[in-house]
Structure 1
């Protein structure tokens, strides 16, 4: 068995506690069409989730296949996919979670919030459309080669738009996840955060980051693409497409405008969501409009 040194860091301050089942209730507030789930987030529950992710489970977790039609060097302005040339970005991390009895991988990033505990990812990394919510959800910031310098943060509340929860609409494939503090520290105080913006002009230069784990990528290092996205040419969603060969596992990774390679931060305007089966070199991300703004307004105070 591989020594789980990162698990030891995650469990700092959580010793001598017995495991319990992770349960929660789904709530749909009709006033702002945001759906959320509360998760037990005390020390006992954190310990149970963190202990769940053994080295074997992390290694065997699957990449989420997003829904779609058929299933510090200065970065390049146009890059269809490569490993990030510098250190892992502190605010971007890998996500491990379970859903319907299987273990999965995604990506996520911290965002500015009044609770200092917020990350943004894809909706399908938190809820399977109208189906199950994720469990055993852990965010590991600055992930690299099997772990991260700051350990991990478990989820305490998840939010998705009603359009995703009831119809699995790819144009609203976004989730905001509120994390539990780790050893009494909020994630934003540990790693910093990115800004977030809504209703931005389409087609602006972006950089997208994530942990792809299929084909030429093994998920151990941060990867990125860059360029100018364009509207969905099929007209099936309100999403935008960016030429990008990142694969499964990069779902939920941030799309940043105004990215600063010196600070490793920017303004998040979308997240990686899906690819069309006959267009595997284009990644699509939902447009952050009013629905995502309402989602953020609810989650950042949660």
Structure 2
């Protein structure tokens, strides 16, 4: 993510891709004065210019190699993505991240940096709470299957993030943070693997899925723009089965109304958490008070490792289903208890439109 305190440029607008959209909704008819085919070509070209793609493990042999890489020992030793600067020393995004941060920590207006830690482990609640800065999710439901841990290699070091399956034409798509896929303007992640429903002691009830293709928006790829910290990954099948057919999916939406009640999920691995349990935060969203991004904040004390975990609007705690409208991205170093997530607007919609059919 971008670590400067300068104001960020406004997100680009893609002509023809306007208005709120939830996957599965029937689009309204448009008044056109040119053939629909011509409009489709224009829209596809606009989307393509906004999306940067990377080919990951395409062949069966390469997918087997990636899955074989993640031995139980490597998984246990992988570090939360917020610790990148502790083990890498390049000149790109990786070298600029703060230390033991709550996801990626960036300086607040004071310019100071602090370690983002919470005093004690938050205990599970017997029933879902409408407002919490962090509790173990113990209610079950779809979210326990659709959310999972991500294991990846960047700059020669192994890391963990979080991600969620989302509805797609391919039945293979997950959404996560851009910094869990590509180091801003730097390199792409390697050995990228998704483990849905990850459990204590490394339990993998639904198997592992290697990445086939990765997608981020052009602003993220060019400069690690916080407004566009979104990545989408098309997975290979496991045992011949698509991930959506095994664990189900959450809906995903774009250009939704700002604010409102949201539940955020992830696998925080920095103390006081250990990455073995699904944790959630819940509350109402608010705009970035520093005005450095268009992101929205959620009261949340989750730590590193929760990066990329889904934020679900319209969430039903009884079924564990909702609509992904953002994800865990960063914290300001002088505000340990607010997580920020990118607004899913036109750029995120363009990434999805390309990735869901990959």
- TM-score tier by shorter-chain length is 0.7 to 0.9
Length, aligned pairs only: 275
SS of the residue 1:90 aligns to: helix
Measured in 2, the distance between the counterparts of 1:43 and 1:291 equals 31
Correspondent of 1:182 among 230, 234, 238? 238
TM-superposed CA distance for 1:31, in Å, is: 4.3
The corresponding residue for 2:328 is 272
Residues 163 and 266 in structure 2, CA contact (< 8 A), matched pair in contact too: yes
- 1:6-42 residue CA offsets vs partner (Å, 9 max, x unmatched): xxxxxxxxxxxxxxxxxxxxxx998431001012322
1:31–1:154 distance in 2 versus 1, CA, 3 Å: closer
- Partner Cα separation in structure 1 for residue 254 and residue 271 of structure 2: 33
Could you give the per-residue CA deviations for residues 159-205 of structure 1, whole angstroms, max 9, x where no partner exists?
00111110101111000100001111000010000100111111110
Look up the match of 1:119. 174
Aligned with residue 223 of structure 1, among 279, 282, 288: 279
Give the aligned partner of residue 78 of structure 1: 131
Contact 1:73 1:261 in 2 (8 A): no
Structure 2 match to 1:11: none
Equivalent-residue separation in structure 1 for 2:57 and 2:290 (angstroms): 42
Q: Note if contact 2:51-2:218 (Cα within 8 Å) is conserved in structure 1.
A: yes
Cα distance in 2 between the residues matched to 1:268 and 1:199 = 12
Matched, 1:32 2:49: yes
Runs of 4+ in 1 over 6 A off after TM superposition: none
Instruction: Indicate how the Cα distance of structure 1 residues 30 and 256 shifts in structure 2: closer, same or farther if over 3 A, else same.
Output: closer
Could you tell me how far apart the structure 1 residues matched to 2:67 and 2:252 are?
A: 29
**Partner of 1:253 in structure 2?**
309
Where 1:140 maps in the other structure, the secondary structure is strand
Which entry has the higher C-alpha Rg, 1 or 2?
2
Higher normalized helix content (fraction of residues): 2
Residues 76-113 of structure 1 show CA distances to partners (whole Å, capped at 9, x for unaligned) of 11111111123471100000000110000000000000
Match of 1:129 among 180, 184, 189: 184
Counterparts of 1:31 and 1:207 in 2: how far apart (Å)? 31
What is the CA–CA distance in structure 1 between the aligned matches of 2:65 and 2:228, rounded to whole Å?
31
> Cα RMSD between the aligned structures?
1.7
Whether the aligned pair in 1 keeps the contact of 2:152 and 2:189 (CA below 8 Å) is: yes
Q: CA deviation at 1:73?
A: 5.9
Kindly state the Cα deviation for residue 229 of structure 1 after the two structures are TM-superposed: 1.1
Which residue in 2 is equivalent to 1:47?
64
Q: Which structure shows the higher strand fraction? A: 1
User: Structure 2: which 5+ runs fail to align?
Assistant: 1-44, 83-103, 108-112, 115-124
